[in-house]
Amino acid sequence: MTAPRTDHRDRYLERIAEVRAGTSAEKVGYPIHVREATVVRTAMVGSGLLRVTLGRPGTEGFQAHAPDEHVKLLFPGEDGVLRLPERDGLMLRWPKPLPTSREYTVRRYDPATGELDIDVALHAGGLGSEWAAAARPGDTVHVAGPPGGLIVPHNYDRYVLAGDITALPALARWLEELPRDAAGWAFIEVAGPDEEIALDAPANVEVRWLHRGDVPPGVGTALADAVREVVVPEGERAYVWVAGEAGSIKPLRRWVRDELGLGKKDHDITGYWKRGVEDFDDDHEHEHGHDHEHDHEHEHGDEHDDH
């Protein structure tokens, strides 16, 4: 019988510090809110990401603690009705039918200014992509979450980070938030040089951009092939974080288990989207390397429309 899950939301800052100083990763929940945030500005980041900066008063008191934590942007349904969840203690009560939503990584939150950056991977026909492209200063949008984040200790010997452009916002934040003496590798698959962005990586983390060229996103094997070339020095502890198209990163699940011999708490491999599937839900596809259970339905990704 599985032990009941402990909810640390009432002491989440203390728990985050404990996990960060510990030896294994753990999901820590934060108090969840639904906020009406205001668009401050938009700007391209490379040629593939559109940054939407949201601001006060709705962003006041926002919580940001983990590189791949996420929020849901809530939109009216096909009937034009905007259905919003309600606070229920430390959680949210979600209406039925569920609101139309898209899920994005929190790229940055600045408590001093209240600014919250959401980087949207652009592609034709996506609900979130089209919203971002049309967003103008003064527009409002409802934001739910984040429900918590996966807190990873900063005492691993090596970190292996990998993803496609939908994972680039989280991966960029990963690199920024790692200790400056961290070591490892980061692999990012993009269409070409124009989708590359400036990254603040520790000096001992090797960053490799992989250009897929004319190969459609989510089809090629370049990302998985490059990651599997990594050799972790014998006797060193490694943590692996991978996100992207569910099918293309699937080979890395076996690699971390069979080749690296990592336990469940030493890796996190998550499908952020799946070719041909709108609003993809990774929880229904596989068991996670680390438990990503949330208080509301889990989509986890930077853009879930059909790529």
Distance between CA atoms of residues 53 and 186, nearest Å: 26
Out of 19-23, 99-103, 146-150, 273-277, pick the least confident.
273-277
Q: What's the pLDDT tens digit per position in 78-103?
A: 889 999 999 888 889 999 999 999 99
Q: Taking residues 225-254, what's their average pLDDT?
A: 96
Phi, psi of 127 (to 5 degrees): -60, -50
Q: What's the pLDDT tens digit per position in 157-192?
A: 999 999 999 999 999 999 999 999 999 999 999 999
Q: Round the average pLDDT of the chain to a whole number and report it.
A: 88
The domain made up of 11-149 has a fold known as Elongation Factor Tu (Ef-tu); domain 3 (2.40.30)
Q: List the one residue out of 291, 296, 293 whose CA is nearest residue 91.
A: 296
pLDDT at 110: 97
- Contact between residue 265 and residue 290 where contact means Cβ atoms under 8 Å apart: yes
Torsion 143-148-153-156 (CA) sign: negative
**DSSP one-letter code for 91:** E
pLDDT at 6: 53
3-state secondary structure of 306: coil
Q: List the one residue out of 146, 160, 154 whose CA is nearest residue 177.
A: 154
- Contact between residue 177 and residue 67 where contact means Cβ atoms under 8 Å apart: yes
Distance between CA atoms of residues 162 and 141, nearest Å: 30
Distance between CA atoms of residues 251 and 26, nearest Å: 24
| Domain regions of the chain by residue span | 11-149, 154-287
Q: List the one residue out of 158, 160, 155, 153 whose CA is nearest residue 255.
A: 160
pLDDT at 126: 85
**DSSP one-letter code for 294:** -
Q: Taking residues 62-74, what's their average pLDDT?
A: 96
- Looking at domain 154-287, does it have CATH number 3.40.50.80? yes
Residue 299 clears pLDDT 60, i.e. is over it: no
3-state secondary structure of 297: coil
- Contact between residue 82 and residue 74 where contact means Cβ atoms under 8 Å apart: yes
Residue 109 clears pLDDT 70, i.e. is over it: yes
Confidence band for 124, pLDDT divided at 50, 70 and 90: confident
Burial 288-300 (b: 16+ CB within 10 A, else e): bbbebebbbebbb
How do strand 183-190 and strand 158-163 relate by DSSP bridges?
A: parallel
Q: What's the pLDDT tens digit per position in 199-238?
A: 999 999 999 999 999 999 989 999 999 999 999 999 999 9
Instruction: Evaluate whether 11-149 and 154-287 have a shared fold.
Output: no
Q: What's the pLDDT tens digit per position in 258-293?
A: 999 999 999 999 999 987 666 655 553 433 333 332
pLDDT at 7: 57
**DSSP one-letter code for 194:** G
Radius of gyration (C-alpha) of the chain in whole angstroms:
18
- Alpha-helix residue ranges (DSSP H) falling in the chain: 12-20, 127-134, 168-177, 222-227, 246-249, 251-254
